Structure 1
Amino acid sequence: MKKKNHTPEQIITKLRKVEALTAQGATVAEATRQIGVAEQTVYRWKKHYGQMDHSQAKRLKELQKENARLKKLLAEKDLDAEPGVSERRACKVLGQSRSTQGYASKKPEKDRTRTKRMHQLAEDNPRAGYRMITGLLRREGWRINRKRVHRLWKRSGLQVPKKQRKRRRLGTSGNGCVRLKAQYPGHVWSVDFLFDTTEDGRQLKFMPVLDEYTRECLVIDVSRSVTSERVIRELTRLFQEHSPPGNLRSDNGPEFIAEALKHFLADQEVETRYIEPGAPWQNGYVESFNATFRDELLDRELFSTLLEAKVLSEQYRRRYNQYRPHSSLDYLTSAEYAAATQKQPVEIWTTPSELPTSPQFDNGNEIKDGHQEPVPALT
């Protein structure tokens, strides 16, 4: 157990408490147990502080500090008067061990490479905490303990402030992510919208679709506006690539409650799972992705055009699936977890520089109806 140093004020407070307890009939042993110190310590405190009050203890503390300062000044003056004094005598005057004087720490040199890489990862992932950084380091081949990462993380001042949010009740709906939880890949998909603007002030609307079991982001559709017809078109493409899910969870937005979309999902035998109005926490998985997406991309980028937003969103989606580990998946990426559940091989990316060209954007050009349109240079 780490030894606790008490200030004189704390000592006097505890001594007064012991006196009050003994006056009520408690034994000294019982009183010392309540204040959390040994009985011998209390007798030693009484010897030094028994007749003092708080003001006298405070004054004593100030005098001790002043005495230590004056002793140090006197020792430095003596050393200055004799410039050829030996290290042995200097340590004796200052009251310092010679082994302490000659000790050179090896930890900073040993941890310098690790700390440098941690800073690089923290710069690439500004909202990541030390646990996420530990997962990224291990994926790169570093053999490092989580506690050491935490110590270096605190020493470097890289802590990410986290806001504590109030918890809400689950509500009465059976369509929320707690009561209806995904049991296998493709069991439940969730969809939602995010909003941003381009540099000219025009609206951007992002529609991410998430597989709740594997945490894979299947698509991030970006446009100026989204209608139910566009939602149907995008879901049709996803159903052809992945096969239809068992359930589609969403809010009650006009794009999702449109009759055309309901008929389309019914034809595909997909159950619609609408959450309660004003209860976004019931669609928690996609809301969690939205928060990460906004922290790591939308709040950091200023989009000049719609096409630029599409390119960067697709790059982020592939990086999120292939490179970013998830603590809820035992620090596997969503692609690795999906491959493990389906027993399929998966390409593992250990650094963001290995990200391939997006399938919708071949060599930086957007593919539309079989034709490539050049993408403006991003700066």
Structure 2
Amino acid sequence: MKRGQKPSAEQVVLMLRQIDVQTAQGKSIAVACKGADVSEQSYHRWRKEYGGLKVDQAKKMKDLERENARLRRLVADLSLEKQVLADVAFGKLVAPERRWQAVDGIREKYGLSERHACRIVGQHRGTQRYVPTVPADEDELTRAIIALASEYGRDRYRRVTALLQAAGWQVGKDRVQRIWRREGLKVPSRQRPRSRLWLNDGSCVRLRPLHRNHVWSFDFVQAQTHDGRSLRILTLIDEHSRACLALKVARRINSVGVIEALADAMCLHGIPEHIRCDNGPEMISKALRKWVAKTGPQIQYIASGSPWENGYCESFNGKFRDECLRQENFYSLKEAQIVIGLWQTTYNCIRPHSSLGYRPPAPVSYPDLAFRLPMAATIQ
């Protein structure tokens, strides 16, 4: 064994055996230790630690000691990591940005290395060292997204992305989503998915729209002017194309008003095969049923107290309330007719619809509506 080199457990046991043999021959411990090139202090220490062990037993003991030391280190590291996460990381560390902040907090508070802190948090070191690049048009794009979110309050980031792309922006939905979340813009709550309402047996109430002018549906929406007087709005849509065919605004609308709105829409868009509606007094009137029977379509009434069976129209009414009625104060009937008419044009020609692949029901180019929608010119 070289001088200064620490002997292994097997070498220690062999040297002890050598010294025992020499002492058995009558030599003193000092002479035997000098012959083995070992100090008496080391001999007594080794005798206390390895006395009576064989070579293989000494090796196993050293292995167990190393394993115990390793386990103690692991327990200490796990306890430290648990304490670190409890002190620095509040809540779930899902986003890379939150992990990045947690790693910096751990290194600052506990003085750990970047490798150790990233392992505790579960952050990749490449992600931790990544320096984001801010495009030159970031501020301008952020202003455009905020403006669109203010204009179309119900929209999600995907629909805003479609509007930006239609206006000429070379931008993807991931970048828009990042800015959307950073600015804290509205994200509608996730709703419980519902099963389809149509059946394969050709049920009248649950008739599935197959093509344009196959199924129309209409309903009424209540509003009021600034002085508290009521407004009644007839909403008529094509369920297949999602186009809004009519938004008739008046103080009162009876069966004659419904017939007039249907007649105007049929003159512009053709005669549908079916018309879906609920069981209101204007819908079940003899005059309306007689007129529709002579015109050609079939009226499909939904079950009483089941507005979800007229889901297309109810969904449109919700968008209409959120994006128009709750955003405006009407001071007269004429003002309401003009503002609602402009919103109808926006809905049909500009506003992307998710069920149509984020395309509007009747798309037109932005310059054609620039005089009506200042937002389009602003975004460009």
TM over 0.5: same fold?
Answer: yes
Structure 2 counterpart SS, 1:220: strand
- 1:124 paired with 2:141, answer no
Give the deviation of 1:221 after TM superposition: 0.5
CA 1:297–1:352: 2 relative to 1, 3 Å: farther
- 1:249 paired with 2:276, answer yes
- State how 1:62-211 maps to structure 2 within 5 Å: 68-69=108-109, 106-107=133-134, 109-165=136-192, 167=194, 170=197, 174-176=203-205, 179-211=206-238
Q: 1 or 2, which has the higher helix percentage?
A: 2
- The residue type paired with residue 204 of structure 2 is N
CA contact (8 A) 2:154 2:188 kept: no
- 1:272 paired with 2:289, answer no
Structure 2 counterpart SS, 1:50: helix
CA contact (8 A) 1:349 1:355 kept: no
CA 1:53–1:276: 2 relative to 1, 3 Å: same
Structure 1, residues 34-77: CA drift from partner, whole Å, max 9, x if none?
xxxxxxxxx999433537997996499769x8995598xxxxxx
Q: Which of the numbers 291, 295, 311 marks the counterpart of 2:322? A: 295
CA contact (8 A) 1:196 1:205 kept: yes
- The residue type paired with residue 348 of structure 1 is S
Q: Which has the larger radius of gyration?
A: 2
Distance 1:45 1:254 in 2: 82
Q: Which residue number in structure 1 is paired with residue 23 of structure 2?
A: none
Distance 1:134 1:56 in 2: 41
Structure 2 counterpart SS, 1:273: strand
- 1:327 paired with 2:348, answer no
Q: Which of the numbers 245, 259, 267 marks the counterpart of 1:218? A: 245
Percentage of identical aligned residues: 36
Q: Which of the numbers 348, 354, 372 marks the counterpart of 2:365? A: 348
Q: Which of the numbers 67, 75, 87 marks the counterpart of 1:50? A: 75
CA 1:142–1:44: 2 relative to 1, 3 Å: farther
TM-score by length of 1: 0.63
* Alignment size in residue pairs: 272
Q: Which residue number in structure 1 is paired with residue 290 of structure 2?
A: 263
- The residue type paired with residue 224 of structure 1 is R
- The residue type paired with residue 174 of structure 1 is S
- State how 1:25-64 maps to structure 2 within 5 Å: 46-50=71-75, 58=83
Structure 1, residues 320-374: CA drift from partner, whole Å, max 9, x if none?
11111111111211013xxxxxxxxxx4236963438xxxxxxxxxxxxxxxxxx
TM-score by length of 2: 0.63
- 1:228 paired with 2:260, answer no
Structure 2 counterpart SS, 1:141: coil
Structure 1, residues 175-229: CA drift from partner, whole Å, max 9, x if none?
34xx412111111111000001111111111101101111111110011111111
Q: Which residue number in structure 2 is paired with residue 282 of structure 1?
A: 309
CA contact (8 A) 1:139 1:350 kept: no
Structure 2 counterpart SS, 1:107: coil
Return 5+ residue gaps in structure 1 as ranges.
Answer: 1-42, 72-102, 337-346, 357-379
CA 1:57–1:189: 2 relative to 1, 3 Å: closer
Give the deviation of 1:233 after TM superposition: 1.9
Distance 1:55 1:354 in 2: 65
CA contact (8 A) 1:188 1:248 kept: yes
CA contact (8 A) 2:220 2:233 kept: yes
Structure 1, residues 131-185: CA drift from partner, whole Å, max 9, x if none?
0011001101112222222122212222423252474784999234xx4121111
Distance 2:70 2:333 in 1: 73
Structure 2 counterpart SS, 1:219: strand
Distance 1:60 1:223 in 2: 62
Return 5+ residue gaps in structure 2 as ranges.
Answer: 1-67, 89-104, 112-129, 374-380
Structure 2 counterpart SS, 1:272: strand
CA contact (8 A) 2:218 2:276 kept: yes
- The residue type paired with residue 75 of structure 2 is G
